[in-house]
Amino acid sequence: MQDSGGGADRAKIALNTWQEIADYLRVSIRAAQIYERDHELPVHRLPGGRARVWAYQEELDAWKRAWEERGRNVPPEPPAELPETAVPDPPAPPKRPRWLVWLLLPLLLGIATVFWILRPGVPTQFRVDDRSLIAEDRNGRVAWRYRFQEPLNPDPYRSSTEGWLKSGDLDGDSATTEFVFRLAPRGTGDVHSERLVAFTAKGKLMWSFTTGRRVKAKRRELSNLYEVNSLAIVPSRKRTPQVAFSANHASAYPNQVGALNGKTGKLEREYWHSGHLLRLGVHDWDRDGEPELILTGVNIGRADATLVMLDPLRMAGASMQPEGDPSQLEGFAPGVEKAVVRFPRSCMARRWGRMNRAARFSVLPGGLEIVVFDGNIESGAYLVYSLDRSLNVVQVDPSPDFSVRHHRQQREGDLDHEYSPNELLELARRVTVTRGR
């Protein structure tokens, strides 16, 4: 580029880039830029942030002579390190062709879909092995597995999960489902009392509770060896749900009924019974919005079938036995029950010295229907008692085998009377109902 005068003199020759300026001075571009910044090298710029630069050879020569007249050479060239202003922009990444993106997108979506389909779902079924509880989804895929320290007793788990696992809302948030598991360890001894163990839907341990404790009866102290025979989740609209359970002594008669805080597993209330209560149900019997516990079994001291109704928020103490009964548990206040119903033994049970036992029951719109077996084992001979909402007997119906056995024992001389409907009326009249406080 020539200056505006248009002369051909060398002094008017302009250098139009930093590279030309640096070559003329025989230094690097960085050195020329530093000379301009720190040593007044005459460089011209057009207005603007990234404007073009130029310098005249005449002015550059004059700048060099000025340094020489001061007895100094041109400033030494600085180390070869580019200043921030001279660092070139990084090269742009190579652009990938769009067709490659569209080709890979369906593949990635397909892989994600496969993982989503194959991932385990919500647990819907459970099984146990030697030491583990295994949760599976509806397709049989393992959702999670929890391994216990002690081996498990396989016997309680041979039946359906109804007897050893319950699912529902334990923490009261209504958002997720939790699980309560009956842990039955293998072996004997006090350390092997059964436990209740709660898990989140993802298999995280929430809490663990060991059932039973050492209790005393007359002239006897009973070990802490209990088996869970029933459990249920007790919902509530006003408070944290509870886990209710019934656990009987493995070799004697005490039975613990407990209500645990569903979120923490802490024992909130308990009731003790002399005899085994093997069935447990949860129903809002008085229709006040808060459910009651209904348990059926036998009272060992009275030797009769028994139904016990409890308020899980108020139950306490122990059942009261007849005066002098050795099965009376000591150290407890009198039991706090809503109701206790006792069913008398039939003539056949009295003749053979057997206890009868209340077992299955159903809550109907008009009351309760209870199956009472004529003996301490479930056999074909039983009576079905229908109770109204006040727990009064409305009707008693025998099973077909009940009358057949009665006729057979009468023919064989074991009974001294014929079977008749009046016998059922007499049994209904002898049913006793004790209503609690």
Residue 123: inside a domain, yes or no?
Answer: no
Mean pLDDT of 161-182: 91
Mean pLDDT of 253-258: 95
Question: How much is the pLDDT for 45?
Answer: 82
Rounded Cα gap, residues 335 and 192, in angstroms: 28
Q: Per residue in 176-218, pLDDT tens?
A: 899 999 999 986 544 568 999 999 999 999 999 999 999 998 8
Mean pLDDT of 385-392: 96
Instruction: Decide: helix, strand or coil at residue 386.
Output: strand
Q: Which two tokens stand for residue 76?
A: 């030494």
Q: Which two tokens stand for residue 34?
A: 């530093």
Question: How much is the pLDDT for 62?
Answer: 87
Model confidence at 87, pLDDT cuts 50, 70, 90, reads very low
* Residue 86 pLDDT greater than 50, yes or no: no
Instruction: Please state the separation of Cα 241 from the chain's center in Å.
Output: 14
* Residue 16 pLDDT greater than 70, yes or no: yes
Residue 47: inside a domain, yes or no?
Answer: yes
Residue 25: inside a domain, yes or no?
Answer: yes
Rounded Cα gap, residues 35 and 411, in angstroms: 133
Q: Give CA torsion, residues 265, 270, 275, 277, to 10 deg.
A: -50
Residue 119: inside a domain, yes or no?
Answer: no
* Residue 372 pLDDT greater than 90, yes or no: yes
* Residue 410 pLDDT greater than 60, yes or no: yes
- Helix, strand, coil: what percent of the chain each, to 5? 20, 35, 45
Bridge partners, residue 249, by sequence: 226
* Residue 353 pLDDT greater than 60, yes or no: yes
Residue 16: inside a domain, yes or no?
Answer: yes
Question: How much is the pLDDT for 10?
Answer: 45
* Domain, as residue range, for 64: 10-86
Rounded Cα gap, residues 271 and 168, in angstroms: 24
Residue 54: inside a domain, yes or no?
Answer: yes
Model confidence at 354, pLDDT cuts 50, 70, 90, reads confident
Q: What is the end-to-end Cα distance of the chain in Å, rounded?
A: 114
* Residue 104 pLDDT greater than 60, yes or no: yes
Rounded Cα gap, residues 361 and 210, in angstroms: 28
- Write the burial class of residue 162 (CB in 10 Å: 0-12 exposed, 13-18 middle, 19+ buried): exposed
Residue 65: inside a domain, yes or no?
Answer: yes
* Residue 79 pLDDT greater than 70, yes or no: no
Mean per-residue pLDDT over the chain, rounded: 85
Q: Are 311 and 344 in contact (CB under 8 A)?
A: no
Higher pLDDT, 302 or 6: 302
Number of domains the chain contains? 1
User: Which of 339, 268, 354 has its CA nearest to residue 304?
Assistant: 354
Q: Which two tokens stand for residue 218?
A: 């007359």
> φ and ψ at 100, to 5 degrees?
-70, -40
Q: Are 424 and 396 in contact (CB under 8 A)?
A: yes
Question: How much is the pLDDT for 53?
Answer: 85
Q: Per residue in 265-292, pLDDT tens?
A: 999 999 999 999 999 999 999 999 999 9
Residue 127: inside a domain, yes or no?
Answer: no
Instruction: Please state the separation of Cα 219 from the chain's center in Å.
Output: 43
- Element (DSSP H or E) covering residue 211: none
Question: How much is the pLDDT for 26?
Answer: 83
